[in-house]
Structure 1
Amino acid sequence: MDVDFVITEFEVGGAERTLARLAIGLQQKGNSVRVYSIGRLPTAEDGDGRDQLVRALRDNDVMLESADATSVREFPMAAWRLRRWIQQRPAAVCQTFLFHANTLTNVFAKPLQASGPRVAGIRVADPSRWRCAMERRALRQVDHVICVSNAVERFTHQHLGLSADQTSVIGNSVDVDHFATAPPMDWRTFGWDADADVVLFVGRLHPQKNLGLLQSTLDQFAPLGSNRKLVMVGMGPLRAELASWSEAVSGDRVRVLPWRADVASLLAGCRVLVLPSHYEGMPNVVLEAMAAGKPVVCSLVEGSEELIGNDPHQGFAAGDSAVMTAKLNQFLDDRSLSDRVGRSNQLRMREEFSVQGMVDQYRELYAKLGGE
C-alpha cells in the first residue's frame, strides 16, 4: 500500500512525533510511505537536535519532502509544490495532519484527487470560530476523519458538522522504553541541589496552555526558601514574557528554557509534570511523562482525561488553581504516592498506548476505507 502523509511542519512536536512513528511503522510493515511538510524542514544547522524526526524518517527510508513555506502568505506556492508532489505518485491513501495541512491539501489543492481515499486528522479541539469554519470547508472534501481522542471526536460532531460514520478514534502512542530508561537530569547543572523537587511543564508557550495559572500559584507549590522549583520548556509567543517573569522571581525558583532534545531526561528527573491547558487533543507530553513513570497534574480537558483515567490524584477542572495547587503539593509532599502513581501510569502506557498498536489501527482503517 502506498501511503502519503501531509503535515503542517516537522518540528519536534506531539503531532510530528506521532506521524514519524506511524510513517516508520508502516514502512517497516512493507508499505511505501512518503511524507510532505508544508513548512521548512529543520536541519542539523538549527542546533538542539530539532532535526531528529527528519533524520529518523530518512534513516528508515521514508521519503520526505517540503514546500519550504515560512508563512501563510506562501500558501499558493506551497499548494503548487504539493500538486507536483502528489502527481509524482498518486497514493492508495492520502492522510493529512493538523489544521494547515488539512486546509491546504483539501481546499487549496482540491483539484488533486488521490487514487484512494483522502483522510484528515483532527488533533485538537480548538473552538475558535474562524478555524472551525475553515476546517468544516476542508473536511467536506475528505472520505474519513481520524480523531486523536473520544473527546475530540465529540468536538468534530458538535462543531465541525461530522456524523459518527465519518469519524474514527485512534489515540497517540509512546515509546515507553525510551522514557523509562532515560537518565535523570542532574539539577546541579541549573545551580540547584541534586535532589530538587521539580515541577515540569513541557509544551508550546501559548495562551492555550493557561500558563498564567502556574505564575499566579508559584508561591503555593514552590514557596521561597523551599527546595521546590518550576521548569518550563518550549517555544511560542509567550516565551519572552515568561522569561522576563522568571528573571524577576526571587529565590532562583524558575527556569524558562527553549525546546531541548533531552526532554526524556527532564521528565526522568522531575517530581511531577503539570499541564493546565484550556483545551487539548491528546497531549503527547502526558503520555511521555506517564511512560517515564511520573505522576501528572493536568486539566481535565480533551484527551488528558482519557489518559489519566479515573485516577483521583491527577486531574483538575480547567482553570481551578486551588485544586491544581493541592494536587501538585500532594505529590511534592509524598514521594511514596508519587512513585506509586508513576508506576501505575507507566503500566497503563505499556498496556494501552504502544506504537505497534497505533500503527496496526491506522493500517486496518486504511484497508477498510479501500486503501488496499
Structure 2
Amino acid sequence: MTDRMLTIAHTESSLGWGGQEHRTFKEMVGLRKLGHRLILVCQPKAKFAARAREAGFEVFEVRMRNGVDLPAVLRMQAIFRREQVDVVNTHSGRDSILGGLAGLLACRLVVRTRHLALPITSRFTYTTVPHHVVSVSEHVRRYLMSEGVPEARVSTVYTGIDPAAMQLEAPSTLRAELGIAADAKVVGTVAILRMKKGHRFIVEAADRILAANPDTHFVFAGDGAQMANLTALIASKGLGERIHLLGLRRDIANVLAGCDLFLLPTEQEALGTSYIEAMAMGLPVVGSNVDGVPEVVRDGDNGLLIKPGDADSLATAVNRLLGDDALRQRMAARSRELVSSVFHVDSMCLSMLALYRRLLAQREQR
C-alpha cells in the first residue's frame, strides 16, 4: 500500500466555482504530480468539470437531482467499481450522500472534506456515511466533534497554496491602472462581495483611517450580490475616489503586489484562503477574530485580529499598521514564513496522501 498508485475520486454536486472547488482542484493537481490518478465525478454543466478537463483530468458527469436520487447512486457505484477507485472523497451535501453511499456500496474508502464554518445540516453525512472526515481548520474540527463526529475520525488538513504561482514577472500595474501615487498606502481586500465578508465595515471605518493616513486608498477585488449596495454606500459617503471596486479579477497576485496590507473583516470563515494568498505575497494581514481565522491571522505575529462587525476596531488596527513601517515589514516576513511552513500546497497534498494511505492500511488490517 505504501508505494502503489492510488485512484482517488472526488465528488462535487455544486455547479459553481469557489474556494471549496479550488482547494479540491489543487489537491487533484498535487497528487497527480506525486504519481496518482485523480478523477472527478460532478454534475453536468458544473464549472469544475470544465476546469478539470482543461487540466487533463478524467471527468464523469452524473446528474444529482436530490439527496435520494437512487439512479445517481447506482451510476456512481458503477463508475467507482469500473475505474477501480481506492478512495472516494466527497465535498458538498448532496454528493456526500449520493457519492458516499455509492462508495460504501462499491466497498471503497469514503472520506468527506468539510470546507465551511456554517452549521451542518445532516449529521448522517459526517457520523455515518464516511469512514473519516477532513476539516480545513481546527475550529471546524472542534465543531464537528461537538456534533458527534468521534475525535479519531476527524483530522485537520490546512488549505495550502503554491507561492510560486503567486510570483510576478514584472512589477504590479495596479497603482498605474487606478492612478494611485507610488508613495500612497493601499489596503487590499480580495473576496466575493457577500454580506458576511464585511466589506461595509471597511467603508464605515474609512473616514477614521483617512483622518490618520490621508494618502490611503482601498481596493476591493471581487464581485457578488453586494456590488450595488456597496457602490451606493461608497457614493453616499463621498469615497468614490478612495475606495476602488475592481470587480472580478484573475490577476490576484498583481492586485496584492500593489498593496501595503491585506484586510478582510469577515464575520464567518472556516479558514480564509484569501489571507494565505496575501501572506504569500508578503503582506501583513488584518482579519476578524472569528471561526478559523485566528489559525491564519496570528495576532501580533503576521497580522492583527479585530472584533467582528466593529468598524472602530478595524480602523485602529489598520491605522496601527499604516503608521508603522517596521511593524508591517516584520509581519510581512512572518507571513511568508508561515505559508512556507504551514500553508503550502505541498504540505496539504502530502498530508492528504498520508491520511488516505493510513486509512486504507487500517481497512486492510480488518
TM-score interval, normalised by the smaller of the two chains? 0.7 to 0.9
Which of the residues 149, 157, 163 maps onto 1:176?
A: 163
Distance 1:170 1:5 in 2: 16
- What letter is aligned with 2:158? G
Measure how far apart 1:115 and its partner are: 2.7
- What letter is aligned with 1:120? R
1:92·1:117 contact (CA, 8 Å) conserved in 2? yes
CA RMSD, 1 decimal? 2.9
Measure how far apart 1:345 and its partner are: 0.6
- What letter is aligned with 1:297? V
Matched ranges for 1:66-215 at <5 A? 66-67=61-62, 74-75=65-66, 80=71, 83-90=74-81, 91-106=85-100, 113-127=105-119, 132=120, 134-139=121-126, 140-158=128-146, 160-181=147-168, 183-215=171-203
Which of the residues 259, 262, 266 maps onto 1:273?
A: 262
Measure how far apart 1:30 and its partner are: 2.1
- The answer for the alignment partner of 1:21 in structure 2 is 26
1:297·1:314 contact (CA, 8 Å) conserved in 2? yes
Change (3 A) 1:165 1:214: same
- The answer for the alignment partner of 1:45 in structure 2 is none
Q: Which runs of 5+ in 1 are unaligned?
A: 43-50
Which of the residues 63, 70, 76 maps onto 2:58?
A: 63
Larger Rg: 2
- What letter is aligned with 1:179? M
1:186·1:194 contact (CA, 8 Å) conserved in 2? no
Measure how far apart 1:244 and its partner are: 2.6
Measure how far apart 1:67 and its partner are: 4.9
Percent same amino acid among aligned pairs? 23
| Residues 97-128 of structure 1 deviation map (CA, whole Å, 9 limit, x = unaligned) | 2445435534xx6696343111111112213x
| Residues 267-325 of structure 1 deviation map (CA, whole Å, 9 limit, x = unaligned) | 11111111111221111111100010001100122322112335354112323332221
**Mean alpha-carbon deviation: is it higher for 6-15 or for 284-293?**
6-15
**Mean alpha-carbon deviation: is it higher for 186-195 or for 281-290?**
186-195
- TM-score between both structures, scaled by the size of structure 2: 0.85
SS in 2 for 1:326: helix
Distance 1:234 1:204 in 2: 5
1:232·1:256 contact (CA, 8 Å) conserved in 2? yes
2:345 pairs with 1:355: yes
Measure how far apart 1:184 and its partner are: 2.0
1:199·1:272 contact (CA, 8 Å) conserved in 2? yes
2:207 pairs with 1:219: yes
- What letter is aligned with 2:8? V
2:270·2:292 contact (CA, 8 Å) conserved in 1? yes
| Residues 245-284 of structure 1 deviation map (CA, whole Å, 9 limit, x = unaligned) | 2344424111223321011111111111111112211111
Q: How many residues align?
A: 350
Distance 2:175 2:231 in 1: 19
Distance 2:130 2:358 in 1: 15
SS in 1 for 2:46: coil
- What letter is aligned with 2:228? A
Q: Which runs of 5+ in 2 are unaligned?
A: 1-5
SS in 2 for 1:314: strand
- The answer for the alignment partner of 1:5 in structure 2 is 10
Measure how far apart 1:38 and its partner are: 3.6
Distance 1:78 1:39 in 2: 15
- The answer for the alignment partner of 2:276 in structure 1 is 287
2:63·2:72 contact (CA, 8 Å) conserved in 1? no
Change (3 A) 1:282 1:111: closer
- The answer for the alignment partner of 2:285 in structure 1 is 296
Change (3 A) 1:264 1:68: farther
Measure how far apart 1:339 and its partner are: 2.1
1:10·1:54 contact (CA, 8 Å) conserved in 2? no
- The answer for the alignment partner of 2:357 in structure 1 is 367
Change (3 A) 1:201 1:366: same
2:339 pairs with 1:344: no
- What letter is aligned with 2:56? D
2:231 pairs with 1:243: yes
Distance 2:40 2:236 in 1: 44
- TM-score between both structures, scaled by the size of structure 1: 0.84
